């Protein structure tokens, strides 16, 4: 593994300063899925790798695609190129992808015996290809911008493991939640331990911030969210390395559809909350005050509009957040594959050009 220099100068720390709610000259920006299928250079790299997981498992190619959007756009952070389902894959569930259908598992977890049979993971060895990628990317960045590591949340990982793939209704996962909650808690506990180890390994390898993606937390009923999703993210936050190489390592919680739980999420001790586009960012700021930074939250579908409409929506969100630091601009979910890269450019450059007026 490449050893990163702890004395490496970070030339652009705008993202980290905003997460700490420290003064910045402009609002920092990155995009969820910024390395992805909307870029022709990404598609070329994936074709070279052969398939998606081969791309993830090749540290040099994972580094290449991580850096590709930084060559096009004035972004303020890089995010590790990987997948949220690496943990269940390492647990032996047999991750594979079918064209047009998303990720699937050859084996599912639907009983207490299935949970008991899951192996305990050691991220350094069982997910060594991810840790190598983190170290490779951090070295290649050479202080250009910070590197974000990430994982799926325990609840989100559990839905895929129980359903065997993506789902709209989560019949097996929600069925377990209501009919066999002890088994679900046992699974979530194992996943919380694995995610904590995984993120800490990424931090030791060079990740300078981490994000927990709770893609499906918003599908839960109100009380079920706090018991089966947020409680396990809290456990992870409590177990994370929060200072490394002499700097604080901020953690971002992102639950899609979590507008009603922002205060409870802020109570976890996370540094920032990711917002989807269904919550007004100004109202969110009024609710959480200065306890956390906020990340978001433009609807990714705006990128299908004209550059003029994109610029107008960026300015509206900047105005809604208002004056001062603590805002990291992002989409409210990942950029979609059919977006014109020039529309992404209009989005990013508008933040760069117009956000300084909110930091005077």
pLDDT in tens, 220-264: 999 999 999 999 999 999 999 999 999 999 999 999 999 999 999
pLDDT digits (tens, 9 = 90+) for 139-157: 999 999 999 999 999 999 9
Question: Taking 90 as the threshold, does the pLDDT of residue 4 lie above it?
Answer: no
Binding residue numbers? 33-37, 83, 160, 215, 333
What average pLDDT does the chain have? Answer: 96
Owning domain of residue 330: 14-359
Residue 224 inside a domain? The answer is yes
- Helical ranges in the chain per DSSP H: 14-19, 40-49, 52-57, 59-72, 86-88, 112-117, 123-126, 128-141, 154-163, 171-179, 181-205, 222-225, 231-239, 262-266, 281-288, 307-321, 341-354
| 1 belongs to a structural domain | no
Q: What is the pLDDT of residue 104?
A: 93
Per-residue pLDDT at 1 exceeds 60: no
Q: Determine whether 291 is an active site residue.
A: no
Establish if 4 belongs to a structural domain. Answer: no
Q: Report yes or no on 211 lying in a domain.
A: yes
The answer to whether the CB of 312 falls within 8 A of the CB of 299 is no
132 within domain boundaries: yes
**Residues 8, 142 contacting (CB under 8 angstroms):** yes
Spot the catalytic one: 72, 83, 144, 247. 83
- Tell me, what CATH number does 233's domain have? 3.20.20.210
Binding residues for substrate: 33-37, 83, 160, 215, 333
288-309 per-position pLDDT tens digit: 999 999 999 999 999 999 999 9
Q: Is the dihedral of CA 226, 164, 162, 201 positive or negative?
A: negative
Confidence category of residue 2, pLDDT binned at 50, 70, 90: very low
The answer to whether residue 54 is domain-embedded is yes
Is 33 labeled as catalytic in the residue annotation?
A: yes
Q: Cα separation of 14 and 258, whole Å?
A: 26
Q: At CA 17, angle to CA 13 and CA 22, rounded to 5? A: 145
Asked about 60 being catalytic, the answer comes back as no
Q: Is 110 a catalytic residue?
A: no
- Give a yes or no: residue 3 inside a domain: no
The pLDDT of residue 8: 77
Higher-scoring residue by pLDDT: 89, 5: 89
Q: What pLDDT does residue 101 have?
A: 73
d(CA 321, CA 302): 18
pLDDT at 7: 62
As a whole number of angstroms, the distance between CA 45 and CA 48 comes to 5
Residues in the chain: 360
* Confidence band for 99, pLDDT divided at 50, 70 and 90: confident
Confirm whether 106 is a catalytic residue.
no
Has residue 97 been placed in a domain?
A: yes
Q: Report which of residues 96 and 64 the model is more confident about.
A: 64
Instruction: Give the tokens for residue 265.
Output: 């999420």
Q: How confident is the model at residue 173 (pLDDT cuts 50, 70, 90)?
A: very high
Neighbouring CB atoms inside 10 A of 97's CB total 15
CA distance 289 to 358: 17
Options 21, 33, 190, 235, the catalytic residue: 33
Q: Quick one: CA torsion of 110, 112, 114, 117, rounded to 10 degrees? A: 160
Q: How many domains does the chain have?
A: 1
Q: What is the pLDDT of residue 98?
A: 77
pLDDT greater than 50 at residue 93: yes
pLDDT value, residue 126:
97
247 burial level (CB within 10 Å; 0-12, 13-18, 19+): middle
Q: Burial, 59: exposed, middle or buried (Cβ in 10 Å; 0-12, 13-18, 19+)?
A: buried
Q: Model pTM?
A: 0.96
Q: What is the pLDDT of residues 26-36, one digit of tens each?
A: 999 999 999 99
Mean pLDDT within 188-204? 98
């Amino acid at each position: 593994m490449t050893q990163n220099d702890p004395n490496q100068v970070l030339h652009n720390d705008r993202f980290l300063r905003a997460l700490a709610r420290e003064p910045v000259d402009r609002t920092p920006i990155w995009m969820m899925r910024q390395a992805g299928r909307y870029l022709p250079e990404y598609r070329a790299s994936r074709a070279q790798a052969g398939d998606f997981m081969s791309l993830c498992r090749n540290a040099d190619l994972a580094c290449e695609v991580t850096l590709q959007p930084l060559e096009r756009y004035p972004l303020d952070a890089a995010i590790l190129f990987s997948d949220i389902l690496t943990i269940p894959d390492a647990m032996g569930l047999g991750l594979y992808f079918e064209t047009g259908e998303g990720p699937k598992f050859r084996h599912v977890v639907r009983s207490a015996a299935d949970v008991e049979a899951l192996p305990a993971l050691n991220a350094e060895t069982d997910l060594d290809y991810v840790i190598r990628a983190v170290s490779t990317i951090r070295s290649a960045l050479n202080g250009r911008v910070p590197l974000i590591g990430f994982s799926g949340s325990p609840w989100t990982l559990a839905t895929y493991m129980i359903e065997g793939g993506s789902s709209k209704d989560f019949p097996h996962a929600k069925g377990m939640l209501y009919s066999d909650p002890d088994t679900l808690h046992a699974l979530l506990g194992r996943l919380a331990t694995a995610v904590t180890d995984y993120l800490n390994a990424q931090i030791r390898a060079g990740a300078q911030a981490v994000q927990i993606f709770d893609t499906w937390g918003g599908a839960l009923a109100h009380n079920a969210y706090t018991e089966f999703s947020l409680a396990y993210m809290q456990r992870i936050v409590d177990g994370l390395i929060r200072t490394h190489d002499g700097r604080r390592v901020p953690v971002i919680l992102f639950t899609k559809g979590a507008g009603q739980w922002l205060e409870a999420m802020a109570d976890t001790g996370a540094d920032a909350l990711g917002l989807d586009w269904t919550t007004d960012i100004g109202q969110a700021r009024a609710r959480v005050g200065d306890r956390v930074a906020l990340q978001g939250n433009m609807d990714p579908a705006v990128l299908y509009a004209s550059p003029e409409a994109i610029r107008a929506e960026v300015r509206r969100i900047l105005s809604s957040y208002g004056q001062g630091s603590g805002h990291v601009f992002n989409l409210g979910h990942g950029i979609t594959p059919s977006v014109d890269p020039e529309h992404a450019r209009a989005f990013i450059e508008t933040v760069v050009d117009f956000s300084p007026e909110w930091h005077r």
